[in-house]
Structure 1
Amino acid sequence: MSTTTAPAVHDNRTAFAEQLIELARADERVVAVCNDSVGSSNLVAFRDEFPDRLINVGIAEQNMVGVGAGLANSGLVPFVCAAAPFLTGRALEQIKADVAYSAHPVVLCGMSPGLAYGELGPTHHSPEDFSWLRPLPGLDIVVPTDREQTRQVVRELVEHPRPTYVRVGRFKVPDLPEGVGEPLQRGRFQTLREGDDVAIIAVGSMVSRAVDAADLLAAEGISARVLNAAWLSPFDSEAVQLAAADCGAIVTAEEANVSGGLGAAVASVVAQQPARARMRILGTDGFAPTGSTQWLLDFFGLTVEGIAGAARDLARDESRGA
């Protein structure tokens, strides 16, 4: 009797902290700013090694972003770290004015985003962050999927600093299989699976689930293209246009609100192109009930089966010409 071992899962915050320390050893410009969140931002080891390069402003998120902008204006590379709901909610005006509008190369790190805080409830969830930040001109939004992509993004932002919001996941996910997909490129989706029956465009914690859903569909004879929308802004409209033209059906999956997030961005592109596509947008809708992160993802249908089911329905409708 054979048994299948579930893949190991990992917290991307660990990879973030390890890479940040490695870069800080070689580059004195790298500093960190946080809001009394040294532990939850995984900055303990950074603080211990670089006590003069960690600024803890206390529970003062608006000041925190302003301090980050001042450090960036002085030639440093500040990583401003805080729980995503408090960073993006409390300091939205400062992100707009001091970072995006002023073009200060601050790296805003939304720690434990989406539904990662589970039972702590909607006050600590941040499914709205895409909706709040995507409209801001000049602000990159990037959501690394696994540990290697997290390390890659941190390296990229030290080598080429720019105003950026990074979602650093707390919910443990598996690493993508080695050699799958090309390296991340700014403003480009990453192709993880080729297919022409349906396209699945996913971001963050949903990417590994989208890949697993494509495997389920392949066993049924349905060819699913899987795109990782890690660089959510600038937005890869070309990849969406190709998916609409080639597949005629698109499912989006995000640990975020369906109003203004990835799905809304994809739908906006599809609606304005000659090659239309049927769509299903999977994400959160309304304030979440109380439960663990895994339970909440199940509740909102953000599962391998939920993604596969939506894609299956669209592919069948397309084959029937509905």
Structure 2
Amino acid sequence: MAEAGALAPAQVPEEAPLDAAAIRSRVEQLSLKRRRRGVEEEAEVADAEVALGLDSAYQVAEEGMDVLDSSTTAISIDDLDAYLERLRKEVSLADEGNRKVSDEIGVTAETTTNDMIRLDVDSEVLESLLSKLESKGFNHFEASPAPGQSDSSSTDSCRNQSIADKDCIYEVLELDQQIGKSKMNLKMLQSLQRHSFEYFDKEEAIVAHLDRGIDASIKISSDWPLCSYGLKLISLRNSGTHPTNMASSLLSKTKELANGLDLHIRQHLLRFVDAVEEILIRELRSG
């Protein structure tokens, strides 16, 4: 019995019967998962391609913008250089125009100054002429018409006579001026012959030796005769072989009167010395 039990095969549990519906459902689930996974993979690939396309398009656009920026920058620099060059030319033209205007202003100013000088001279001549006419009693050049003569012919005759008189008087005036200049030159030559001068650099003084044995010491400034200050008489003293006896009070008064002369006289050496001599002679006669 024991052997029979030992030799008997072991019993295998009975498997459950296969269900076709369950198997079909399982297959359909796997197929669905497979299709979903394929769709997801295709979507991922499409998304990657789209992203790659966008990146490529952005890169192309960025490169295009870089090229555009570089060309725009180059064009802007060229335009700026051209604009600056045009500004330089305009400034140069403006400077040249200013120089021309300045030159014209200078010429106009010089011409105006010369015209004013001529006008002043003509005015002085006219005033001198009028003074001459007034001193000689020529208050007018009109004359009464002759009996039987028309007013128009009388006016023309008076006008012609007036012009002739004016020309004649103008010539006389010019001759008077020339005579005055000649007299002044003669007086200066006579003064040079009558007086002698010595200059002492250390004292900055000039000693004028007058013809009456009088020495007049005159103080000058370092920039004389260019300065606007007048000469100054600092002393008068007797000298020479035949001196003139004069009191110190007379010399002091002469000195005071000489230093009180007008500036235009004290600025000229010969005129000042002549004036000192005239004052001295006048004081001697009055004393």
TM-score range, shorter chain: under 0.3
Which structure's CA Rg is the greater one?
2
| TM-score normalised according to structure 2 size | 0.19
Higher relative contact order (CA 8 A, sep 6+): 1
Q: Which has the higher strand share?
A: 1
More helix by share: 2
TM-score, length basis structure 1? 0.18
